[in-house]
């Protein structure tokens, strides 16, 4: 990691100071991030680029982006959003062309985020999901918006921010420099900055994926710029360092004459949204990138860019890094990823809601009038709750630590070595019967799906508890020959599950790309005539294919009739025919538009549903993998561990058994009746 600082000169520039640093992280073998600090006489630029694509493509793309951007600014006196956008478009063209001419760099791309300071103004630039934050008067704000599919799904209302957590398409970019021949950057004047005392932070996603916004604010407020860079990178690495980490921190001095809340919005051209400034005010170029100074008195070579090559073969369209099955438990330990909880969330949510209700009644924690009721009413939304949903209907209960619990919502398809026997569902207890029972019982109307999940969950916990009891007691008994078979079976199971996970992740990738394609068409339909998309959509939609054919035939008939009328304009019958064909064509066009929109929405829904199914299946396999590894670890300790290791493992299993028994006890106290639908 490198950290550097420097002062600046003129208008806002003398009041600026910065620090910067980049780090490879703990999981990557090369650094594909780059950053740049370009200090011209009348403007300073601070930029971060996060590369992606191929063995070395990401590093090449991020470095090239900053080099081209810097070169484009050599003839720019004072920047405008349009001039900066054009510089980024040129960077995009050169990265795209380089990827097309060199097979090893095919598909490479990079994010790009930056701030330009000049006079008493600043311009923000963004393509991708690197970010700019500002801390002002103790409050942090994210000044850029991520160009990711998940962000657009949130903004469109398709999902909520809560549902976006751990979503399979969380890191899929909708915009970046390089993968496509054209891109539209976000470049705009800040309406409320800079101001005295402001602190800014630019970073790649390697930081904010592991360090929260509030933590970033605290680091900026409580430390110097250099310390904020060092400590933020250190904190991200302590939490796994799953990606390269690049950070630039900036500060506007307290003596800067503009205070928060005293801004004048720059006058902009309504057509181009660019600020008109006098180019004669420019007095030459004098700057540096990452500490390398240059001026117009000496040859302009490509500035030194921090960053290197990565061996991670990251596809441009999908920023979600592949997880090594060996690292699942490690991620879980760091609190970033909990396969057990994710897998349990969909299946256990209904049971947990009911358990909480029953527990509140039993413990008298509700209001007096509620505690007297033997029948717990649930909202209609919960009555209609369906078992596991990756996004949407869940009401998240407090997260219990089911570190070893194993999902078996579909026993016939489970890959877990434990075989679950079928048991008849318990007879529902009616409200009148519940009132006659001496013990307090929560009687809740639920759907058949929820009832089935409750039954399956009870069966699973019963078997799991029995297995844990056997494992705990085995430490007090002579070593059994079955331990060797557990070692063999667990090792084989782990291999099978790991292979299945690899295949499943490939399916998730394909489904994610399909969703991106259809979601892109949904976005395009907002800016172009849906008829222009008909040919693409007709490939998968019979209704669109038929509507398209009918519309094209009507268009052809109209053109022939109009041409005939042109040579005989007094023919009243021909005039009437043209009017009728015009109306018919208009009606068929409207129908085609409706069919195109409906087909696109349907395909988005199908793709999203498929991702949900695959994600649930993936989570189930990952949970089974964790359980298989736990069995293997138990067998190894039992066979080869010393007394201290055996005692520690016994206590661990005993604690796990207590949790499972507590949940099972609560589930067994719940009585359900089918909901009236």
The residue ranges of the chain whose pLDDT is under 50 are 2, 4-9, 265-441, 677
Element (H, E) at 126: strand 121-127
Domains of the chain, CATH where assigned: 4-264+288-295 (3.60.40.10), 322-677 (no CATH)
Closest CA to 13 of 60, 51, 46: 46
- Copy the structure tokens of residue 63: 């470095």
CA distance 495 to 86: 51
Element (H, E) at 197: none
User: The tokens 């205070």 sit on which residue?
Assistant: 259
Cβ–Cβ under 8 Å, residues 12 and 194: yes
Cβ–Cβ under 8 Å, residues 596 and 444: no
Angle at 463 between CA 458 and CA 465, to 5 degrees: 90
- Copy the structure tokens of residue 548: 């398209």
Give me the half-sphere count of Cα atoms (radius 13 Å) on the Cβ side of residue 427. 4
CA distance 62 to 114: 13
User: The tokens 């949940």 sit on which residue?
Assistant: 663
Cβ–Cβ under 8 Å, residues 59 and 108: no
CB-based contacts of 377: which residues, under 8 Å, 6+ apart?
none
CA distance 397 to 353: 7
Q: How far is CA 41 from the centre of its chain?
A: 40
Cβ–Cβ under 8 Å, residues 551 and 588: yes
3-state secondary structure of 492: helix
What's the pLDDT tens digit per position in 509-521?
Answer: 788 878 888 888 8
- pLDDT attached to residue 459: 86
What's the pLDDT tens digit per position in 181-232?
Answer: 889 999 999 999 899 999 999 999 999 999 999 999 999 999 999 999 999 9
- pLDDT attached to residue 50: 96
- pLDDT attached to residue 254: 93
Give me the half-sphere count of Cα atoms (radius 13 Å) on the Cβ side of residue 599. 26
């Amino acid at each position: 990691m490198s950290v550097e600082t420097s002062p600046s000169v003129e208008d806002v520039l003398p009041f600026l100071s910065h620090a910067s640093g980049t780090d490879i992280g703990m999981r990557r073998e090369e650094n594909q991030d780059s950053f740049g600090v370009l200090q011209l006489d009348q403007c300073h630029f601070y930029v971060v680029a996060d590369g992606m694509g191929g063995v070395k493509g990401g590093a090449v793309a991020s470095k090239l982006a900053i080099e081209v951007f810097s070169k484009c600014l050599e003839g720019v006196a004072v920047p405008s959003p349009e001039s900066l956008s054009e510089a980024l478009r040129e960077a995009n063209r050169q990265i795209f062309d380089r990827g097309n001419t060199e097979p090893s760099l095919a598909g490479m791309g990079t994010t790009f985020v930056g701030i330009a300071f000049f006079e008493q103004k600043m311009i923000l630039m963004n393509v991708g999901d690197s970010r700019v934050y500002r801390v002002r008067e103790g409050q942090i704000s994210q000044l850029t918006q991520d160009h990711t599919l998940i962000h657009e799904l949130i903004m469109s209302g398709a999902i909520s921010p809560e549902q976006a957590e751990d979503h399979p398409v969380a890191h899929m970019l909708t915009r970046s420099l390089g993968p496509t021949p054209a891109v539209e950057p976000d470049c705009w004047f800040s309406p409320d900055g800079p101001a005295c005392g402001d602190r800014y932070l630019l970073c790649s996603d390697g930081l904010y994926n592991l360090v929260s916004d509030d933590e970033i604010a605290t680091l900026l407020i409580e430390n110097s710029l250099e310390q904020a860079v060092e400590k933020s990178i250190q904190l991200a690495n302590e939490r796994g360092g799953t990606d390269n980490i690049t950070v630039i921190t900036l500060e506007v001095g307290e003596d800067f004459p503009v205070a928060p809340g005293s801004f004048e919005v720059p006058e902009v051209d309504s057509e181009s949204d660019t600020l008109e400034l006098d180019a004669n005010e420019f007095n030459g170029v004098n700057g540096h990138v990452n500490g390398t100074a240059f001026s117009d008195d000496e040859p302009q070579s490509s500035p030194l860019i921090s960053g290197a090559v990565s061996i991670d073969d990251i596809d441009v369209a999908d920023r979600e890094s592949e997880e090594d099955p060996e690292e699942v438990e490690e991620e879980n330990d760091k609190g970033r990823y909990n396969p057990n909880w994710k897998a349990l969330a969909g299946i256990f949510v209904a049971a947990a809601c009911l358990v909480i209700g029953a527990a509140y009644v039993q413990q008298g924690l509700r209001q007096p009038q509620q505690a007297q009721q033997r029948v717990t009413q649930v909202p209609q939304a919960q009555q209609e709750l369906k078992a596991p949903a990756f996004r949407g209907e869940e009401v998240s209960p407090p997260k219990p630590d089911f570190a070893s619990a194993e999902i078996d919502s579909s026993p016939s398809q489970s890959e877990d070595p434990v075989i679950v026997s079928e048991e008849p569902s318990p007879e529902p207890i009616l409200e009148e019967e519940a009132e006659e029972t001496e013990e307090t019982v929560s009687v809740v109307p639920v759907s058949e799906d929820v009832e089935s999940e409750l039954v399956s969950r009870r069966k699973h916990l019963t078997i799991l508890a029995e297995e844990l009891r056997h494992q705990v007691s085995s430490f007090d008994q002579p070593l059994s020959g079955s331990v060797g078979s557990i070692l063999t079976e667990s090792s084989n199971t782990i291999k099978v599950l790991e292979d299945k996970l690899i295949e499943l992740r490939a399916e998730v990738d394909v489904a994610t790309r399909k969703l991106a394609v259809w979601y892109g068409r949904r976005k395009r339909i907002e800016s172009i005539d849906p008829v222009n998309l008909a040919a693409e959509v007709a490939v998968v939609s019979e209704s669109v294919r038929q509507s398209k054919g009918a519309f094209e035939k009507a268009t052809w008939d109209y053109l022939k009739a109009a041409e005939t009328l042109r040579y005989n304009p007094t023919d009243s019958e021909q005039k009437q025919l043209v009017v009728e064909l015009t109306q018919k064509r208009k009606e068929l066009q409207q129908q085609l538009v409706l069919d195109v929109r409906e087909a696109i929405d349907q395909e988005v829904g199908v793709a999203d549903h498929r991702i949900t199914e695959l994600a649930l299946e993936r989570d189930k396999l990952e949970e089974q993998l964790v359980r298989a590894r736990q069995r293997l670890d138990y067998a190894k300790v039992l066979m080869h561990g010393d007394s201290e290791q055996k005692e520690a493992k016994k206590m661990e299993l005993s604690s796990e058994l207590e949790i499972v028994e507590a949940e099972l006890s609560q589930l067994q106290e719940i009585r359900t009746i089918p909901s009236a639908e």
